[in-house]
Structure 1
Amino acid sequence: MLTHNRFLSLKVFILLLLVYKTHSKLNLKYGILRRAPNLAARNETISFRPRTKYDVQKTMRLMFYKNNTKTLEASAFDEDYLQRGSGCSPSDKFAIVLHGWIQSCADEWSLALIDRLSYYRGGCVICIDYSLIASTSYMRLYTNFENITGAIVTIILTLIKNGFDVKRGYMFGFSFGGQLVSAVGRSLAPQHMIQSIDTCDMAGPGFDPIAVDHSKAGKHVQCFHSSRDKGTFVYSCHRNIMLGSCGLAQPSVASQLHLGSHGLCVDIYINAFDYPFYALNTTPSECIAFQKVAKIPADYTVGYEENFDNRVTGQIFVPTSLHYPYNLSKKELKFLAGKK
């Protein structure tokens, strides 16, 4: 039998649910992730959490690449890494790659992206590895979000101090790394505005439904969305590219169960360097546009864009297919759009 106090607590809980009934079930689920854990878990998290961003920075590694060759691995805490044979010059374009939870710079997708960036973009590619922290629980990683952000800001400021130009800068982040990229860019702005930022299925748990203007993170910010369970529902980038079924699920999950709709995002982004992913010029009838729909030219394709077209902003819907490389041909796209 419930005690009087427990009965009152239950009534309060039900009342709160009624007050916040306008929140979606997904946002309620994400809200649970932000609730304080039990006392034992909280004590464990606090004891693990490094005290400052400098403690976090000591655990991070920088992987430098030139021409798709790893030239140097250094501690992020040592500011003399640029003088230690990285091969990176201030006159180079530079790219920053950030991984997600339970990932590292050694992951297959990280190496594949570094390869494509090296080939198509050139310059210096730097993967920032924070896997020592990312290999723990999501809650532990989340509690270190501000510290990791501050450490990465310090790294980029060191690059700038050594002559690197943010107008030649590009950042990419997947999942939790996508949220980091946005936070880092917004911390650097407006004094140091990164030229181009792309994110892939930016993490939602722990971050949604708080409204953040991700467009302020860089001069040109593209966000690719692919899942309903792990990706964010905050669509505030200059471009929000809704992959597959309304940016919520990928047909290819049926053939790539190990990746899921979330993990497929980064594979699709990498494939878009070599295969055309055509966008629809209208919103699919089953989808809801939460942002203005972009006006796109005929045969428009999405992916990494060296020269950002400022005329194309808003939501962009890009159907994907069942099998690798997950794109649709022009003929398939016209059939899907109901054209003869």
Structure 2
Amino acid sequence: MQSFSIRHLILIVYVFQILFNGTYSKLNLKYTILRQKQAPAPQNITLVYQQRIKYDAQKTMRVIFYKNNTKTLESSAYDDTYDLNGSGCSASEKFAIVLHGWIQSCSDEWALSLIERLSYYRGGCVICIDYSVVASSSYMRLYTNFDTLTRAISSIILTLFKQGFEPKKGYMFGFSFGGQLASAVGRSLWPKYIIESIDTCDMAGPGFDPIAVDHSKAGKHVQCFHSSRDKGTFVYSCHRNIMLGSCGLKQPSVASQLHLGSHGLCVDIYINTFDYPFYALNSTPPECFTWHKAAKIPEGYTVGYEENFDSQVTGQIFVPTSLHYPYNLSKKQLKLLS
């Protein structure tokens, strides 16, 4: 009887262990797969391999220059120098870099709209780095190329610096997967080169969360817009974390923009901030639970692209959005909501 009880107890413990491990593996399956690494190879083999995959990525990437909203030059990312005379750009002026996301390219409507707004409001040279050949495959394959793309894009920017472009005149924007790239590229250049301003829109979460990353190290001023709970990151470590719509998790306008979803709406809202005021709440909404620092919001404060970054306004900023285009609320609507 005693031996049966012991065997029975062992069996119960074993079953619980299986259930626990099964639950753990289900909860962490995507992170386990995406973060899995092979045993380290000899250093010389690793270096050769890294150079090879960097070449394979760069030879399919394109660096596209815009001046006054006109495409002036398209060059291979593997070039050591770029024909600035042919691009119409000057190394002494401002420059902006745009990075797209998964299954996207520099020809996407939002990318062209952003290039147009940056050209009008910011001026200078706008450069879109197109890695659509790599981005057109599965998300898993794109994710496994993340470090390769980071090195390749960093190499492109270093080439620009060698030609005279100044980090303090630089701005970088990344959407979704491109947002993670913008942060990683900025952090890889830091502290020798510090990009003046970096904005990201609903930085990708799958494969990256829940690993804690200090995105504020990507540039001098880093602001991140959040719009979805399913595709966006939950790591809020930028200088500003702008929570759009319902706590940065859902947009009311998704009801009329199903093809975009809350994730895709982020970049549309960001582009609209150039022309429409998106007012921030003065306090954290009661339904938005957070452990993070809330920013002290001045009266009438609006969010979006900011030429002169106000370092006094940092932390989480809550910005309600509306059901219909252009998705902003008036001061009167915001007051009623408060």
For structure 2, the residue ranges without an aligned partner over 5 or more in a row are 1-11, 37-49
Q: CA–CA distance in 2 between the matches of 1:91 and 1:50?
A: 31
Partner of 1:322: 323
Partner letter of residue 108 of structure 1? E
Partner of 2:247: 246
The root-mean-square deviation of aligned C-alpha atoms, in Å, is 2.2
Among 10, 21, 27, the alignment partner of 1:16 is 21
- Conserved? CA contact 2:245–2:321, under 8 Å: yes
- Conserved? CA contact 1:82–1:88, under 8 Å: no
Is 1:207 the counterpart of 2:208? The answer is yes
Partner of 2:279: 278
Q: CA–CA distance in 1 between the matches of 2:64 and 2:150?
A: 18
Is 1:34 the counterpart of 2:38? The answer is no
- Conserved? CA contact 2:34–2:144, under 8 Å: no
Partner letter of residue 210 of structure 2? P
For 1:151-208, what per-residue CA distance to the aligned partner results, in whole angstroms no more than 9, with x for missing partners?
0000000000011000000000000000000000000000100000000000000000
Bigger Rg over Cα: 2
Shift of 1:307: 0.1
Q: CA–CA distance in 2 between the matches of 1:32 and 1:160?
A: 37
Shift of 1:265: 0.1
Partner letter of residue 75 of structure 1? S
Shift of 1:113: 0.1
Partner letter of residue 241 of structure 1? I
For 1:293-338, what per-residue CA distance to the aligned partner results, in whole angstroms no more than 9, with x for missing partners?
000100000000000000000000000000000000000000000x
Q: Which moved more, 1:87-96 or 1:229-238?
A: 87-96
- Conserved? CA contact 1:50–1:56, under 8 Å: no
Partner of 1:303: 304
Q: Classify the secondary structure of the residue corresponding to 2:182.
A: helix
- Conserved? CA contact 2:84–2:90, under 8 Å: no
For 1:45-78, what per-residue CA distance to the aligned partner results, in whole angstroms no more than 9, with x for missing partners?
xxxx994212211110011000000001111111
Q: Classify the secondary structure of the residue corresponding to 2:87.
A: coil
- Conserved? CA contact 1:95–1:124, under 8 Å: yes
For structure 1, the residue ranges without an aligned partner over 5 or more in a row are 1-6, 37-48
Is 1:72 the counterpart of 2:77? The answer is no
The alignment of Structure 1 onto Structure 2 pairs a total of residues equal to 315
- State the identity as a percent: 75
Partner of 1:39: none
> With structure 1 as the length reference, what TM-score do the two structures score?
0.88
Partner letter of residue 318 of structure 2? F
Partner letter of residue 111 of structure 1? L
Shift of 1:16: 3.3
Partner of 2:222: 221
- The structure-2 alpha-carbon separation of the partners of 1:292 and 1:132, relative to structure 1 and needing over 3 Å to count, comes to same
Q: CA–CA distance in 2 between the matches of 1:200 and 1:305?
A: 14
Q: CA–CA distance in 2 between the matches of 1:108 and 1:31?
A: 32
Q: CA–CA distance in 1 between the matches of 2:180 and 2:14?
A: 35
1:1-340 matches, within 5 Å, as 12-16=17-21, 28=28, 30-31=30-31, 34=34, 51-83=52-84, 85-337=86-338
Q: CA–CA distance in 2 between the matches of 1:56 and 1:307?
A: 35
